[in-house]
Amino acid sequence: MKAWVLEKQAKIEGRPLKLMEVETPYPKDNEIRVKVLVCGVCRTDIHIAEGDLPLRKPNLILGHEIVGIVDKTGKDVKKFKIGDKIGISWLNSTCGKCKYCLSDRENYCPDFKCTGWDVDGGYAEYAIIKEDSALGLNDIKLEPEDIAPLMCPGIAGYCAFKLTDIEKGEKLGLYGFGPTAYYVLKVANHLSIDTYVSTRSQKNMEVAKKAGAVWAADASKKDLPCKLDKSIVFPPAGNLVEPALTQLEISGILVLAPVSMSTIEIGNYSQNLWGRDIRTLFNVKKSWGEEFLSIANEMQIKAGKEIFPFEELQDALILVRKGKIKEANAVIKVGDW
Ligand SMILES: NC(=O)c1ccc[n+]([C@@H]2O[C@H](COP(=O)([O-])OP(=O)(O)OC[C@H]3O[C@@H](n4cnc5c(N)ncnc54)[C@H](OP(=O)(O)O)[C@@H]3O)[C@@H](O)[C@H]2O)c1
Ligand SMILES: [Zn+2]
Ligand SMILES: [Zn+2]
Average pLDDT over residues 143-172: 97
Is the pLDDT at 1 greater than 90? The verdict is yes
Average pLDDT over residues 271-286: 96
- Residue 286: closest CA among 146, 79, 20, 127: 79
Q: Which amino acid makes up residue 253?
A: I
Q: Please give the share of the chain, as a percent, with pLDDT higher than 70.
A: 100
Q: Please give the share of the chain, as a percent, with pLDDT higher than 90.
A: 97
Residue identifier of the C-alpha nearest atom 3 of ligand 1: 283
CB atoms within 10 A of CB 283: 18
192 Cα: distance to centroid of ligand 2 (angstroms): 27
Longest pairwise C-alpha distance within the chain: 60
Tell me how far apart the alpha carbons of residues 230 and 210 are, in angstroms, rounded to a whole number: 22
Report which bound ligand comes closest to the CA of 94: 3
pLDDT for 260 equals: 85
Residue identifier of the C-alpha nearest atom 30 of ligand 1: 237
Contact residues of ligand 1, CB 6 A cut-off? 43, 90, 152-153, 156, 176-181, 199-201, 204, 234-237, 240, 257-259, 281, 283-284
Tell me how far apart the alpha carbons of residues 44 and 46 are, in angstroms, rounded to a whole number: 5
- Residue 56: closest CA among 128, 116, 118, 8: 118
Is the pLDDT at 134 greater than 90? The verdict is yes
H runs (alpha helix) in the chain: 43-50, 144-147, 153-163, 179-190, 202-210, 241-246, 286-299, 313-321
Kindly tell me the sign of the dihedral angle through the C-alpha atoms of 328, 123, 52, 241. positive
Is the pLDDT at 74 greater than 90? The verdict is yes
Going by pLDDT thresholds of 50, 70 and 90, the confidence category of residue 279 is very high
Is the pLDDT at 173 greater than 90? The verdict is yes
Residue identifier of the C-alpha nearest atom 47 of ligand 1: 258
Residue among 65, 108, 231, 234 whose CB has most ligand 1 atoms within 8 A, to mutate: 234
Q: Assess contact for 205 and 199: CB atoms under 8 A.
A: yes
- Residue 337: closest CA among 37, 34, 15: 37
Report which bound ligand comes closest to the CA of 111: 3
- HSE-up of residue 65 (Cα within 13 Å, Cβ side): 26
Taking only the tens place, the pLDDT of each residue in 210-229 is: 999 999 999 999 999 999 99
336 Cα: distance to centroid of ligand 1 (angstroms): 32
64 Cα: distance to centroid of ligand 3 (angstroms): 20
What is the distance between the terminal CA atoms of the chain, rounded to a whole angstrom? 15
Is the pLDDT at 36 greater than 90? The verdict is yes
pLDDT for 122 equals: 98
Residue identifier of the C-alpha nearest atom 8 of ligand 1: 258
Is the pLDDT at 41 greater than 90? The verdict is yes
pLDDT for 168 equals: 92
Domains for the chain: give ranges and CATH numbers. Answer: 2-142+302-333 (3.90.180.10), 155-280 (3.40.50.720)
Taking only the tens place, the pLDDT of each residue in 228-265 is: 999 999 999 999 999 999 999 999 999 999 988 999 99
pLDDT for 281 equals: 97
Is the pLDDT at 75 greater than 90? The verdict is yes
Is the pLDDT at 337 greater than 90? The verdict is no
pLDDT for 141 equals: 97
pLDDT for 259 equals: 86
pLDDT for 195 equals: 98
- Residue 88: closest CA among 139, 34, 44: 34
Report which bound ligand comes closest to the CA of 184: 1
